[in-house]
Structure 1
Amino acid sequence: MHTDSPPPTRVLYLAGWGRSGSTLAEGMLDQVPGLVGVGEIKFLWERGLLQNRRCSCGTPLRSCGFWVEVLHEAFGRVPDDDELRELDEASRRFRTRHLPGMLLRPTHPPDAGELGWYYAALARLYRAVAKVGGADVVVDSSKFPSYLTALLQAPGLDVRVAHIVRDPRAVAYSWQRHKEDPDAPNGELMPRMHPACTALYWSAWNLATERITRRAGLPYLRFRYEDLVTEPDATLLAVTRLSGVPAAPVRVGDRGELFVRRTHQVSGNPVRFRSGAVPLRLDDEWTLSMAPRHRRLTGAVTAPLRHRYGYRDS
């Protein structure tokens, strides 16, 4: 007897280098009917479940009703620690060190033949997220170009890439800041990075994202953090069109505040814990406070791609 296969699960993948505004973008997209934003799913197994860090709703993830229901829908139960470690180990194969190879073979994932079970698990997970979230599209802000290649192997996923970029000098400045991570173990701060390293990663991640999506023929949109903040309605309209759901206006107050509901995001920037009225303003502190030598260094390393993205030298 013939059984119709389920329709593909649409995934809107937020790509880009860290500190580019993806957590803010996802929080805004989660307000659009038909979309459900769930953070950096790549880190679900380790940070979310093994370490039991908090969901953005404020509850430890193993106790979060949303994620417990998702895991039961996908796997029949919350996987035990051995299974979680196996899933995390598979996820770790899609990491930054594979970037040079991806620039040469951009859609070929590492050890593809050994990971069929993992790709099937991802398909079940994203399908369960969409069902429990009552959404047409799952928004995943994992960002890693390498993890994008994993999603391309998962059966039954319709992946679309929303690629967020930000002026690399602003990104480099952000990576230098001392920032608290309220969810990190032992009160650790968010990681910091020298501007030279940030500039190299910014270039490599963005180039790898472009190459993967182009070679795979994925629906793709690149948008800028600066436009998201200063022109939120127009920018979100373009992104939601890419996702395939009807656009909805952004709720912005008279003082420029964005009204954000509580979400269920895994990992990401600490801004994910904020709900209610959140100020929507351009973070351009780098223009006044960034050391001139760091500005020159970052600008020189990123010049070709930075200019193509519309960020000039002034």
Structure 2
Amino acid sequence: MRSDPTPTTRVLYLAGWGRSGSTLAESLLDQVPDLVGVGEIKFLWERGLQQNRRCSCGTPLRSCDFWVQVLKEAFGGIPGDAEAGRLDAASRRFRTRHLPGLLLRSAGPPDTEELRWYFGVLRRLYAAVAEVSGAKVVVDSSKFPSYLTALLRVPGLDLRVAHIVRDPRAVAYSWQRLKHDPDAPNGALMPRMHPGFTALYWSAWNLATERIARRAGLPYFRFRYEDLVADPAGTVRSVTRLSGVPEAELPLDGRGELLVRPTHQVSGNPVRFRSGAVPLRLDDEWTTRMPSRHRYLTGAVTVPLRHRYGYRDS
């Protein structure tokens, strides 16, 4: 597939386990010229087209000028419900349940040969995003390591992996919070998960991401949420270098807040709806509010990977 004669679209894949700060990272990267962040493309078909949830610009996706142009460029118009359902079903073939296989063997999810049409759709979609936005790099924060294996099969993609990690105890605490999802049907809350399961997923997703990127020989850079907040300009410069575009200064005001212009992210944390002056502050509430039993459980399950990423016991 790497010899496919179709034009190449460069894609920066933001990987990592949920609640690790990928939406914030993408919002920062979207401020860099030549980069365009479009959220979690994996969920475009279900949340964007079938459920018509809001783009991060605040407009329902089927009415968003940006996405209307992208879909017209890629497919000649907005796919109907049946086609969106077929594409969502194909996307679901690359599921988290395949992670054990991804960690233990070189083969990807089964029966991918029959999905050549789906890979062709993704090729046209990413190319259309680049064409409509005028950006040189499309930033996709889908995060799933299993979905990354799908992108490896898409002809005409130049993949780079930016892997964000966060202290697993902070992640586990975040998954326990009661959070309203302003874009979910019927005003639902964001999903919650027990710290033990969060710790297992944190370990599996991060290990799988490393293994897939290394096995495929992809350009790869790992960075920490804590470092992104402490030094946003320096961290973004490192990711920008991975992307292969010129470095640029982030639009920070005198108080260190980021001046965010509206973005067009498909899905992600509700922070994607924020624009204007956005404070960049470390969310470390877990250090004082997390129950001790959850802290010890999460810490025990995530050793030694947690230590390798620089998160010690103190």
The reply to whether TM is greater than 0.5 is: yes
Counterpart for residue 198 of structure 1: 198
Counterpart for residue 235 of structure 1: 235
Work out whether residues 16 and 205 of structure 1, in 8 Å CA contact, stay in contact via their aligned partners in 2.
yes
AA aligned opposite 1:310: G
Q: Which runs of 5+ in 1 are unaligned?
A: none
- Cα offset for 1:105? 2.6
Work out whether residues 11 and 160 of structure 1, in 8 Å CA contact, stay in contact via their aligned partners in 2.
yes
Distance 1:72 1:111, change over 3 A: same
Give % identity.
Answer: 79
- Partner Cα distance (1:21, 1:106) in 2: 29
SS at the partner of 1:115? helix
Work out whether residues 107 and 149 of structure 1, in 8 Å CA contact, stay in contact via their aligned partners in 2.
no
- Partner Cα distance (1:138, 1:110) in 2: 27
- Cα offset for 1:6? 4.3
- Of residues 175-184 and 248-257 in structure 1, the stretch that sits farther from structure 2 once superposed is 248-257
- Cα offset for 1:107? 5.3
Distance 1:259 1:155, change over 3 A: same
> How high is the TM-score relative to the length of structure 1?
0.97
Does 2:8 align with 1:8?
yes
Deviations 1:213-237 (A, max 9, x none): 0000000000000000001111111
- Cα offset for 1:106? 4.7
> How high is the TM-score relative to the length of structure 2?
0.97
Counterpart for residue 250 of structure 2: 250
Counterpart for residue 169 of structure 1: 169
- Partner Cα distance (1:28, 1:15) in 2: 15
Counterpart for residue 263 of structure 2: 263
Counterpart for residue 309 of structure 1: 309
- Cα offset for 1:76? 0.9
Counterpart for residue 292 of structure 2: 292
Work out whether residues 74 and 128 of structure 1, in 8 Å CA contact, stay in contact via their aligned partners in 2.
yes
Does 2:113 align with 1:146?
no
Does 2:101 align with 1:126?
no
SS at the partner of 1:303? coil
- Cα offset for 1:109? 3.2
Work out whether residues 162 and 239 of structure 1, in 8 Å CA contact, stay in contact via their aligned partners in 2.
yes
Q: Which runs of 5+ in 2 are unaligned?
A: none
Work out whether residues 260 and 275 of structure 1, in 8 Å CA contact, stay in contact via their aligned partners in 2.
yes
AA aligned opposite 2:30: D
* Aligned residue pairs, count: 311
SS at the partner of 1:159? strand
Deviations 1:252-308 (A, max 9, x none): 222221111100000100000000001110000001110011000000000110000
- Partner Cα distance (2:303, 2:230) in 1: 24
Work out whether residues 6 and 155 of structure 2, in 8 Å CA contact, stay in contact via their aligned partners in 1.
no
- Cα offset for 1:113? 1.1
- Cα offset for 1:61? 0.3
Work out whether residues 39 and 139 of structure 1, in 8 Å CA contact, stay in contact via their aligned partners in 2.
yes
Work out whether residues 306 and 312 of structure 2, in 8 Å CA contact, stay in contact via their aligned partners in 1.
yes
- Partner Cα distance (1:187, 1:122) in 2: 30
- Cα offset for 1:145? 0.2
